[in-house]
Amino acid sequence: MKRYFIWALVVLLLIAHQDNWLWDNGTLVFGFMPIGLLYQAGISLAAAITWFLAIHLIWPTELDPVASS
Amino acid sequence: MVERFGELTIIGVYLLLLLGLGMAAGRMFKGTKSDYLLASHSIGPFLLLMSLFGTTMTAFALVGSSGEAYKVGIGVYGMLASSSGIIHSLCFFFIGIKLWSFGRRHGYTTQIQFFRDRLESDRIGLLLFPILVGLVIPYLLIGVIASGTVIQTMTSGSFPDLFPTGSPGTHGGIPNWLGSLITCLVVLTYVFFGGMRGTAWANAFQTIVFMVLGILAFHVIATKLGGEETLLENLRKVTAAVPENKLTRVDMSKMKFFTYLLIPLSVGMFPHLFQHWLTAKKASSFKLPVVAHPIFIMIVWVPCVLIGIWATSSLIPAKPPLPSNPNAILPFLVKTQTGPLLGGLLTAGILAAIMSSLDSQFLCLGTIFSNDIVTHYYGRTRVSDRGQIVLARIFIVAIVAITYGLSLFPQRGVFGLGVWCFSGFASLFPLVFAALYWRRLTKAGAFAAIVTTIVVWGLLFWQSDMGANREFAVKLSFGGTTYETMPVATIFLSSLLAMIIVSLLTKPPSENTLGKFFDPQRAHALPVEAD
């Protein structure tokens, strides 16, 4: 179940990554940051959070003293 | 004096530091093959993160990102960087950790050893070997040539009488052939003496260097172009002068953007990353790289993309004119907007990004040659542990010499080959994924996937005028609309279909092999197979 949850998050992330609704939006956030670039930087952070969840929810614990074999 | 030799001094000091690091790592060498090629599986989370990040981020992360942003705008970040943040970590998590565990259980050093075992086929190694080497060599060439170009550009004016070129951008700079030679010799020295430990240490040092210097260049260029009191005011002033189309993705094809998602899957099949994965001390060493990799990509790429779009702004002085080559934008801005100190430091940063990929690739190819060809066919029992280290070192020297020799020939289209190398590796991704997660994958299915990849890749490469046509795309028509897709989509799908169909039509692997790779508990009880 947890594995499906992580895969669903990854698929959502890949869909969000396409962000077609911002394709031609050149708004500058804070006066200097193009909104499309800020959004994609947000995708990078969301990716880090997704993988943080993955290592806590579906970490292959059986691989944790394999290390000496 | 500082004006003339400032950059040169900093580059020299930086390269000497690297050599010192390699020598220090060499002093810790335990004399075994496992220590030389895999650092005795002793690499912890931080060094693994820096090694993996430094290896996957080539000079393209600094120079190419700003150049592409200058050409097509901010969309380059989504196409190349945030997509890699998602996919690279996916590969580390679902491919890297599993391969690491098999590597530890069965004593693998290279990918080919794993595939030979998993697919019960000795010949799969002979088929994969030329493909892996053939796809890595152009990748190496790009790095070697780029290092010579960067050194020549950034040291221009240092030796006008000794190295006259007539071109204002390179006149008096250290010539290409000499810059590339210096880079090759430095990398060769620390890889030769330090092995994988030297490579990991150098990668960590170089990754820190290029991350810090990218941010520093961003700050200094913004301040110089803006001319205002605070950084925020400068950022606002410079970005406000950028044309609207560079702040959006209107110059990009949506379908190309979508199909580009397949390119980062190439890290699942990079032979040099496989070797880095195997250096991990334990499975938990992967946790930090999996989470931090997307953040590190963001830290390096966002400033460089912004610098790239700033180069299109009306604040850029008319003289000297911007270079016609987009990849020269960042070095040009550093050279014209900053002093020799930062110029030298940024050159060191770009060289760091180049060398932190070259070292792993040189070491990896040397390992494949000695391990999968010579030792494998001559007889593992007939070559001592020390003999295998000598062999690996001989092949590393040979690979460096061959790559350097090739770099001296005119390389009109070598930079266009980058995306083709990545496309080839990405199209082999179904093979490694199926080998780990699909019990029904057969030897014949694997051969079908590899041969299909070669044939379709070759056909499309030929259609693209051997990579010279940088805008080449596979055009698909649906309902009267034509979509432009990246060639990797066609190659990937062909490879995937061939693998599935042929595997389902042929005899599955033996119970022994399935037990070894899909039933870890049973794997420990299995008898050791003869070579």
**How does pLDDT run across B357-394, given as a tens digit for each residue?**
999 999 999 999 898 999 888 776 778 887 989 999 99
Residue B245: its chain A contacts at CB < 8 A? 26
pLDDT on residue B5: 64
Q: Considering its fold, how many domains does chain B have in total?
A: 2
Which pLDDT band, with edges at 50, 70 and 90, does B323 fall under?
Answer: confident
User: Is the pLDDT score of B301 beyond 80?
Assistant: yes
DSSP secondary structure letter of residue B282: S
CA distance B531 to B528: 9
Is the CB of residue B82 less than 8 Å away from at least one CB of chain A?
A: yes
The reply to whether B298 and B174 lie within a common domain is yes
Is the CB of residue B449 less than 8 Å away from at least one CB of chain A?
A: no
- A29 phi and psi, to 5 degrees? -80, 140
Provide the shortest C-alpha distance from residue A3 to chain B (in Å). Answer: 11
Which pLDDT band, with edges at 50, 70 and 90, does B156 fall under?
Answer: confident
Provide the shortest C-alpha distance from residue B439 to chain A (in Å). Answer: 19
pLDDT on residue A32: 93
The reply to whether B109 and B142 lie within a common domain is yes
Provide the shortest C-alpha distance from residue B226 to chain A (in Å). Answer: 12
Q: Which residue among B412, B441, B458 closes a domain? A: B412
CA distance B158 to B135: 37
**Residue in A closest to B80 by C-alpha:** A40
Q: Which residues from A are below 8 Å from B when comparing CB atoms?
A: 10, 13-14, 17-20, 22-26, 28, 30-34, 36-37, 40-41, 43-45, 47-48, 50-52, 54-55, 59-60, 62-64, 66-67, 69
Residue A43: its chain B contacts at CB < 8 A? 78, 82, 85-86
Residue B244: its chain A contacts at CB < 8 A? 26
Nearest Cβ partner of A67 from B257, B281, B520?
B281
C-beta atoms of B302 and A37 within 8 A = yes
CA distance B442 to B435: 9
| Least confidently predicted of A48-62, B155-169, B513-527 | B513-527
The reply to whether B483 and B391 lie within a common domain is no
Provide the shortest C-alpha distance from residue B4 to chain A (in Å). Answer: 35
| Residues B20-53 pLDDT 10s | 988 899 978 888 889 999 999 899 999 999 999 9
Is the CB of residue B290 less than 8 Å away from at least one CB of chain A?
A: yes
pLDDT on residue B4: 52
Rounded to the nearest angstrom, the gap between the alpha carbon of residue B517 and the centroid of all alpha carbons in its chain is: 29
- Listed in sequence order, the residues at least 6 apart from B398 whose beta carbon sits closer than 8 Å to its beta carbon are B366, B369
Q: Which residue among B354, B380, B412 closes a domain? A: B412
Nearest Cβ partner of B89 from A28, A51, A67?
A51
Which pLDDT band, with edges at 50, 70 and 90, does B530 fall under?
Answer: very low
Is the CB of residue B93 less than 8 Å away from at least one CB of chain A?
A: yes
Q: What is the 3-state secondary structure (H, E, C) of chain A?
A: CHHHHHHHHHHHHHHHHHCHHHCCCCCEECCCEEHHHHHHHHHHHHHHHHHHHHHHHCCCHHHCCCCCC
CA distance A54 to A57: 5
Q: What percent of chain A lies above the pLDDT cut of 90?
A: 61
The reply to whether B269 and B400 lie within a common domain is yes
The reply to whether B118 and B241 lie within a common domain is yes
The reply to whether B479 and B393 lie within a common domain is no
Is the CB of residue B94 less than 8 Å away from at least one CB of chain A?
A: no
Q: Which of B280, B290, B260, B266 is nearest to B53 (CA)?
A: B290
Which pLDDT band, with edges at 50, 70 and 90, does B449 fall under?
Answer: very high
Which pLDDT band, with edges at 50, 70 and 90, does B529 fall under?
Answer: very low
pLDDT on residue B84: 96
Calculate mean pLDDT across residues B112-119. Answer: 94
Provide the shortest C-alpha distance from residue B354 to chain A (in Å). Answer: 23
Q: Which residue among B365, B397, B412 closes a domain? A: B412
User: Is the pLDDT score of B524 beyond 60?
Assistant: no
pLDDT on residue B337: 83
Q: Which of B381, B360, B509 is nearest to B446 (CA)?
A: B509
CB contacts under 8 A, B 32-71 vs A, are 41
pLDDT on residue B249: 82
Quote the mean pLDDT of chain B. Answer: 88
The reply to whether B379 and B466 lie within a common domain is no
| Residues B232-284 pLDDT 10s | 989 999 999 999 889 998 888 888 899 989 999 999 999 999 999 999 988 99
The reply to whether B382 and B449 lie within a common domain is no
The reply to whether B130 and B216 lie within a common domain is yes
User: Is the pLDDT score of B311 beyond 90?
Assistant: yes
pLDDT on residue B411: 56
C-beta atoms of A64 and B282 within 8 A = yes
Domain residues of chain A, as ranges?
2-17+26-63
The reply to whether B469 and B403 lie within a common domain is no
| Least confidently predicted of A11-25, B16-30, B57-71, B154-168 | B154-168
Q: Domain containing B294 — which CATH number?
A: 1.20.1730.10
Calculate mean pLDDT across residues A17-27. Answer: 82
User: Is the pLDDT score of B348 beyond 50?
Assistant: yes
The reply to whether B506 and B391 lie within a common domain is no
pLDDT on residue B2: 52
Nearest Cβ partner of B97 from A25, A34, A63?
A63
C-beta atoms of B248 and A34 within 8 A = yes
Residue A25: its chain B contacts at CB < 8 A? 248
Look up the domain containing B527 and give its range.
Answer: 419-531
The reply to whether B350 and B242 lie within a common domain is yes
